[in-house]
Amino acid sequence: MSYSAKEIWKEFARSKIALVGIGIIIVLLCMSFVAFVTIPAETFKEWNDPASWLVYPKSALPAWVNYFVPHKIPEHLILKPQEYRQESGGISVVTDVFVTDYKYDSFPSDFIYQYSAKYSGSPLIQLSVTRPDGASSVLMSSSLPYSTGDTTFQGMMFSTDNSMKKNVQNKLQFFFPVDSIPSQDLVFSNLDQNTVLKGLYVFKVTSYDVNGNMTFDQSKFVLGGKVYGLMGTDELRRDLAVGILWGTPLALFIGITVSIGSVVLGLLYGVFAGFKGKTTDEVMMRFNDIIYAMPALPLLIILAVTIGNSIFLIVGFLVVFGWVGIAKVSRSMSMQIKTLQYIEASKLMGQKDFKIIFKHILPQLLPYAFASIAISVPAAITTEAGLSFLGLGDPTFPTWGQILHDASVYGAADRGLWWWILPPGIMIALTGLAFVFIGHAMDSIVNPKLRR
Amino acid sequence: MGFKKYLAKRAITMFGVLMATLLITIALVGSNMDAILKQSVSLEIRQQITNNKSLISSFKTPEQLDLYVHDQINQRMLALGLDQPWYTPQRLGLAMYKIMTLDFGHAKFLTSDTGSSDVKDIILEKLPRTILLFTTATAIVSLFGILLGAIAANKVNSKIDKITSSFAIVSSSFPVWWVGLIMIFLFAFVYPIFPARATPDVSVTDPGYLLSLLYHMALPLITLVLIGFGSWAYLVRNFLVGVLQEDFIMAKRTIGIDKKKILYGHALKNAAPPIVTVLALSLSGSLGGAIITEAVFDWPGMGRLYYEAISVLDLPVIIGATYVLTAFFLVSIFLADVLYAYFDPRVRRQ
């Protein structure tokens, strides 16, 4: 029952599934890294705040769906401006230009211009469009509320506004009745019939200011569509890619901390009980039996409801129910090792108990410990996901389980919102599988009997 | 150690576990329970007094009335023992005794389908449905699993063995409730064959209720079987492979006994103890998992009752359901122990 680290690694590297497992874990680590670098933590903390997701579309399909359908569904675009500044005769003109190449087969659901301006006085803002066919039209103009001192104003211009429709009707000559057609369907329409005019659209926001100190702090043009991003959005307009990406480090954290915690606790408990024997063993094992026979999920639910559902508490609760099985096995292993002669010898030499345990028994159990760490990760991840799925997870750290909880609350399954339910579950399973693969490979090294 | 002594020892442990779980539950919800009880007592008394017109008119000043009400509430609290905190031995003992005799009191919000708010009635109504779903699933799963496992063990490293093993590993890493969501998506949305919600839409008293219940059971049942039988087959296969390596099987082979007879007759019999144990354990495990599974499918059993009770914090129901779930869990573990000891005498003689 002795292994050198090198031998184990050699055997391990020979097993194909172990390499697959390691490959998946490397990918997951990369995803966590990407999440840390590209998505600011604030975005993720605002996951449950509907106000921060207003400019996103509702239940939009992933953008790559367009590669598989004959008619291109309009993508939800959030355009960033190019800004130009001009001074002429005491009037400063700030122009934000948004360019988009519209190549979809149906009209956008709407468009919104959202801005936050810093100014004094009463500047004028005008939104206009230049279409691929050369026609151009003022869409809307408004003056910002008068202010004597410096002020900031946040405003929006909606395509659903009545004045926008009137402007479009007056400026562009359509050869079909336009009365019941919303303005976004007119702006993006051919002149002779109401079909999509594809090509380059330029939206221009111009502000005229006599005081000359007007600036746009935030200015974005949102072209409403039905597909968005890599993973689409959910009913609450949240970008699912953010949730999935940030769920990765959380799942890894929960899985690995819980399994290391339970294995260390179980190992020490079991080895101590097995080594001591007699009454100590009896008492400790009865206690072990009691925890072992407790129904974990109901108690976990009660604990989460009454004590709290912070992610660290949940990790603690999972450890409380996770160590028992490992304690049982390591106890019987340490009882075997205890009878070996070199242990007897070191006992006779008067070595202290804890030294024998730590120097002579525990190292023997290390391969088993590593295998059980890997094997108990998936259970920890699925149990946490289950708790979150019931709505008992930590709301400040939304996990894959919570995405699925929201999906289930909004009836995603029976409404066919597959992009909301498939990715989180697949990620949970993939993460679990990676550790199961590694655990299996290690297990078959530690227990050669299984290999046949 | 004799078989009887072994049984007695296990039974005592199980009883200890039941009490410990109950104590933990009461300890966790006790303080809330106290607050709710006190509230309901004072509400009840105030209502009684306001309904009694002649009593109210006998008081001259509002202060007098207040004093009287306060007095009455205190008297009632004293009578119920609410003046002491919930963790005093008498109250704890009384609470445990009541629960053990299945007197769970009345639910605060939830009712049974027939309208009773007695927790016992609610649980007695939901329990059979949970047992129906999960024992049916376990029976089908174990039957499939043992057959497939035996076939795989017979041809180790064959194609069927490899497929079984990989299916087992893959299927067991998906959470059951997620597969449930996918099944609802597939068979209630894409191909609308089964209803998405597993609660029957006819009333309990309707003669067609049982039939409707069975039809609504299809989707959860298929999910449970689909996710369960792979890992079962894998377990059975591993046990059988272990047994097939033993010397007595070798001996039987050399005598020339039929290979099939060895596998299904002798090897399966010897692998029975661990298989039976795992069967009982998986039944108890699925009872715990029922909370999530039933929440997904809206199956009107114990699990969903528990979930609903938690979401509205209906404490009497939570305590009652925890007790019953724990009791069932323990009975199946106990059964597993007994069966194992019965099949494998080495265990008792330890």
Which residues in chain B have their CB less than 8 angstroms from residue A437's CB?
169
ipTM value, please give it. Answer: 0.79
pLDDT of residue B99: 78
pLDDT of residue B348: 60
pLDDT band at residue B346 under the 50/70/90 scheme: low
What pTM was estimated for this model as a whole? Answer: 0.82
pLDDT of residue A447: 67
- Taking only the tens place, the pLDDT of each residue in B224-262 is 898 888 888 888 888 888 888 888 888 888 888 887 888
Taking all residues of chain B, what is their mean pLDDT, rounded to a whole number?
80
Which residues in chain A have their CB less than 8 angstroms from residue B332's CB?
none
> Residue B29, Cβ neighbours under 10 Å: how many?
21
What order do you get walking across the sheet with A199-209 strand by strand?
A: A82-88, A91-102, A199-209, A124-130, A136-143
Q: Is A67 exposed, middle or buried (0-12, 13-18, 19+ CB in 10 A)?
A: exposed
Q: Is A400 exposed, middle or buried (0-12, 13-18, 19+ CB in 10 A)?
A: buried
Which residues in chain A have their CB less than 8 angstroms from residue B177's CB?
386, 389, 404
Q: Which of these, B335, B346, B148, B339, lies nearest to B236 by C-alpha position? A: B148
Angle at A130 between CA A129 and CA A133, to 5 degrees: 140
- Taking only the tens place, the pLDDT of each residue in B316-341 is 888 888 888 888 888 887 887 787 77
pLDDT of residue A451: 44
pLDDT of residue A428: 92
A99 three-state secondary structure: strand
- Taking only the tens place, the pLDDT of each residue in B56-101 is 777 777 777 778 878 887 887 777 766 777 777 777 777 778 777 7
pLDDT of residue A426: 92
pLDDT of residue A452: 41
Rounded to whole angstroms, how far apart are CA atoms B285 and B293?
Answer: 12
Whose tokens are 């106290």? That residue is B34
Rounded to whole angstroms, how far apart are CA atoms B110 and B107?
Answer: 6
CB A118 within 8 A of CB A150: yes
Q: Which of these, A369, A371, A381, lies nearest to A252 by C-alpha position? A: A381
CB A203 within 8 A of CB A221: yes
List residues bridging with A100 in a β-sheet.
Answer: A201
- Taking only the tens place, the pLDDT of each residue in A174-216 is 888 888 888 888 888 888 888 888 888 888 888 888 877 788 8
pLDDT of residue A26: 94
The residue among B167, B173, B282, B332 with the most chain A CBs within 10 A of its CB, best to mutate, is B173
- Amino acid (1-letter code) at residue A412: A
Interface of A with B in 272-311 (CB under 8 A): 286, 289-290, 293-299, 301-303, 305-307
Interface of B with A in 196-215 (CB under 8 A): 196
Which residues of chain A are under the pLDDT cut of 70?
Answer: 1-5, 447-452
At B18, phi and psi to the nearest 5? -60, -45
Domains of chain A by range and CATH?
Answer: 5-43+239-450 (1.10.3720.10), 63-223 (2.60.120)
Whose tokens are 């579950």? That residue is A425
Does residue B187 belong to the interface with chain A, where contact is any CB pair within 8 Å?
no
Q: Is B193 exposed, middle or buried (0-12, 13-18, 19+ CB in 10 A)?
A: exposed
pLDDT of residue A319: 93
Contact criterion met (CB < 8 Å) for B181 and A306? no
CA distances from B139 to B132, B136, B304 (A): 11, 5, 22
CA distances from B176 to A254, A429, B294, B300 (A): 20, 11, 11, 17
pLDDT of residue B349: 58
pLDDT of residue A261: 95
Report the b/e string of A356-377 with b at 16+ CB within 10 A: bbeebbbebbebbbbbbbbbbb
- Taking only the tens place, the pLDDT of each residue in B164-205 is 888 888 888 888 889 988 988 888 888 888 887 777 777 767
